[in-house]
Structure 1
Amino acid sequence: MEISVGKASGGRLRISSRMTPGRMIIPVAGEVDHTTAPQLRAALLPALTSGARQVELDFTQVSFCDCSGLNTLLDAYHHARQTGVCFGVSGPLTPAVARLFALAEVESVLATPPRSWPWPRQAR
């Protein structure tokens, strides 16, 4: 699955996904802000209900994320916790995204743990 949002010349946000047994990886590229966060939310909801036990959002190519994007991630995290799905954001994160996570003090909540992810993910 691939979704492009924004201008026809590549869009401001690109979202794709790939499924492996029990795990969905969702690479995201571009900017996650008030105009693109709804599309990210729309991509996350099916992923969280796909039957995958792990959902990893790869933010390596996300250059910017604002409060709207952060709220989308936190909503997805809480939905995942309620349904027993392990959810996290992987990187390395760009400095702008890492700074937002640090200022909001969510890096330990949203960071993707190593491959030995516990089932279900432990509350922090």
Structure 2
Amino acid sequence: MAELWLSTRLVGPLAVVLAGGEVDLGSSPDLRDHLLAVLCHLGPWLVLDLTRVTFVDSSGLAVLVDFWRRARAAGGELFLVGPSGAVARKLEVTGLDRRLAVCPDVDSVLESLPASCSGPHRSAGQEPGGA
């Protein structure tokens, strides 16, 4: 099992969370807590970079759907970037690749943002909860 690791950076108006490892029953609460801190401290325009995630189970998918709903309710969006292999297949099989915004990279997300997208609530040097 590959332990989940998370880091956050700001790219323009987006809070980009880079994840690596596996998102499963044991690690999905960590992903949920991290995304909640980002949403609360940096705003509702979220990118979850999945390029380094090797596995996601149903508990991880539930976190994605939950934060997609939370971001939209707050006037933003959750974008998934770079899922591949087993992660892309899981999104495809469940139909989430058609429901959630899935993009190849952060640049394509930036190009698709509406003009009304407001940036993070904090300055670029601050990260949520020591993330």
| More helix per residue | 2
Give the TM-score normalised by structure 2. Answer: 0.76
Question: Sequence identity, in percent?
Answer: 32
Matched, 1:65 2:56: yes
The CA deviation at 1:94 is 2.3
Q: Give the equivalent residue in structure 2 for 1:87.
A: 78
Q: Which blocks of at least 5 consecutive residues in structure 2 are unaligned?
A: 118-131
Q: Give the equivalent residue in structure 1 for 2:113.
A: 117
The CA deviation at 1:13 is 0.5
Matched, 1:12 2:3: yes
The CA deviation at 1:53 is 4.7
CA distance in 2, matches of 1:86, 1:65: 21
Q: Give the equivalent residue in structure 1 for 2:39.
A: 48
Structure with more contact order per residue of length (Cα contacts < 8 Å, sep ≥ 6): 2
Q: Deviations over 1:28-78 (max 9, x none)?
A: 000000000000000000111224352100000000000000000000000
Select the residue among 29, 33, 36 that pairs with 2:20.
29
CA distance in 2, matches of 1:87, 1:16: 16
Q: Which blocks of at least 5 consecutive residues in structure 1 are unaligned?
A: 1-5
The CA deviation at 1:88 is 1.1
The CA deviation at 1:86 is 1.7
CA distance in 1, matches of 2:55, 2:75: 29
Matched, 1:98 2:95: no
CA distance in 2, matches of 1:53, 1:76: 9
Q: Deviations over 1:78-121 (max 9, x none)?
A: 01111012211100x2210011101110113321463222347x
CA distance in 2, matches of 1:90, 1:21: 16
Q: Is the 8 A contact 2:79 2:109 kept in 1?
A: no
Query: RMSD between aligned alpha carbons?
Result: 1.9
Give the TM-score normalised by structure 1. Answer: 0.79
